[in-house]
Amino acid sequence: MNKPIILGIGGAVVGVVVAFAAFTFLMGGGGETVVAAPPTEPVNVAGKLGPHLTLTDRVFNLLPEQGSDKTYIKLQTVVEFETYDERWAYVLGGCGGEAHGAIFGGGATGDLMVSAVPAGSAAPLADRTSGGETVDPCEAEEHALMTEFEHEIGSGMQLIEDAVTTVVTGHTASEIASPEGKEALKEEIKHAIDELIHEPKVHRVLFLNFITQ
């Protein structure tokens, strides 16, 4: 009558031993948790857009040139921030495919935005919130990361808009008309935002719209 109890106890002991062995293996064999070291360099990818803010497409008053009327500029700015997040590294790496995300390039100043379809990505998933329509899982992950990032920035968006206004309206049209002038303006904007928001640092500034009139 005691055999089943003895066998049950023996099975429990074996289970504990196996569980301990598995735990020890996952802990690195020495009882210490093995944790992958976080990236020490930003995971931003050249030609692809990481965590970013697309500012309002606006018209700014520029400083008047000597002896000329007022000049205006229609400008829309994108500010990309540095990220050390491995989730962003995965998305920017194509989620296992060859490309993903917004790609910048092709223009003289590298400001042309082109959409890219991820290659070799996993099969699409059903989007429960859109009536059964399919969405790419990599795009869904990128959307989730962007939503999280925008929430973290919060009211800092208004500070960034104000910083851009201050920098842009401090120039004449001739000062920012050339490619060199545009690049210098980007650097000024980058520095001004970094002065306001110390973390995360600005990775780069891009212009989607740049029309003087």
Residue 111 token pair: 């400001």
Q: Which residue, 142, 95, 93, 100, is CA-closest to 122? A: 95
Residue 67 confidence (pLDDT): 77
Residue 116 confidence (pLDDT): 33
Predicted confidence (pLDDT) at residue 16 exceeds the cutoff of 80: no
Whole-number Cα distances in Å, 119 to 98, 101, 143, 195: 5, 11, 18, 39
DSSP state, residue 37: P
Convert 6-17 to b/e letters by CB count within 10 Å (16 or more is b): eeeeeeeeeeee
More confident residue, 180 or 5: 180
Q: Where are the alpha helices (DSSP H) in 58-106?
A: 86-92
Does residue 207 contact residue 73 with C-beta atoms inside 8 Å?
A: no
Residue 141 confidence (pLDDT): 96
Q: Which of 17-21, 61-65, 81-85, 139-143 has the lowest mean pLDDT?
A: 17-21
Domain boundaries, the chain: 1-35, 52-212
Predicted confidence (pLDDT) at residue 92 exceeds the cutoff of 60: yes
Predicted confidence (pLDDT) at residue 150 exceeds the cutoff of 70: yes
Longest CA–CA separation in the chain, Å: 109
Q: Which residue, 45, 73, 41, is CA-closest to 58? A: 73
pLDDT digit string, tens, across residues 36-74? 567 789 999 999 999 999 999 999 999 999 878 889 999
| pLDDT level of residue 111 (50, 70, 90 thresholds) | very low
**DSSP codes, 114-128:** E--PPSSPPPPEE-T
Residue 35 confidence (pLDDT): 56
Predicted confidence (pLDDT) at residue 21 exceeds the cutoff of 60: no
Q: What is the mean pLDDT of residues 95-106?
A: 57
Residue 133 token pair: 């329509």
| pLDDT level of residue 91 (50, 70, 90 thresholds) | very high
> The whole model's pTM is what?
0.69
Sign of CA dihedral 17, 23, 25, 28: negative
Q: Which of 12-16, 29-33, 43-47, 78-82 has the lowest mean pLDDT?
A: 12-16
Q: Which of 69-78, 132-141, 202-211 has the lowest mean pLDDT?
A: 132-141
Residue 167 confidence (pLDDT): 98
**DSSP codes, 121-181:** PPPPEE-TTTTT-EE-HHHHHHHHHHHHHHHHHTTHHHHHHHHHHHHHTTSBHHHHHSHHH
Can you say whether residue 198 is alpha, beta or left, with left for phi > 0 and alpha for psi between -120 and 50 degrees? alpha
Q: What percent of the chain clears pLDDT 90, i.e. is strictly above it? A: 56
